[in-house]
């Protein structure tokens, strides 16, 4: 279970970095060269999604919950905006949803 969550967290980080760098270029006037590591990060993101141990649809659904939590952490650590109680509650609900999707018992 810890390995699966770690893989989800790494996948979320790759996606957030891949989207944040173009944001810096487009909205904050940073160098266009940020698109190079952004593209590499998004390629890493796509590859990491392929490593998850269950069917793609289930992985994408569960991954959404982890992404929400990672985005709230990014908001705090990178953007410097402290999450509200509602942000944290919403993230917790999303993570519980992820756990239900990924770790529910399945029939053969």
Domain ranges (residues) in the chain: 2-103
- Per DSSP, the three-state class of 12 is helix
Q: Are residues 69 and 91 in contact, defined by beta-carbon separation less than 8 angstroms?
A: yes
How confident is the model over 17-29, as pLDDT tens digits? 999 999 999 999 9
In terms of Cα–Cα distance, which of 66, 74, 108 is closest to 91?
66
Q: Tens digit of pLDDT per residue, the chain (108 long)?
A: 677 778 888 999 999 999 999 999 999 999 999 999 999 999 999 999 888 776 677 778 888 888 999 999 999 999 999 999 999 999 999 999 988 888 888 776
Residue 69: how many other CB atoms lie within 10 Å: 20
């Amino acid at each position: 279970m810890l390995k699966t969550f770690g893989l989800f967290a790494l996948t979320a980080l790759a996606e957030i970095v891949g989207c944040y760098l173009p944001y810096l270029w487009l909205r904050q006037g940073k160098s266009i060269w940020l698109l190079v590591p952004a593209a590499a990060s998004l390629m890493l993101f796509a590859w990491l999604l392929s490593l998850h141990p269950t069917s793609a649809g289930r992985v994408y659904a569960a991954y959404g919950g982890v992404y929400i939590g990672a985005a709230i952490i990014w908001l705090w650590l990178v953007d410097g905006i402290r999450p509200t109680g509602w942000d944290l509650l919403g993230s917790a609900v999303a993570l519980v949803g992820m756990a239900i999707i990924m770790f529910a018992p399945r029939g053969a």
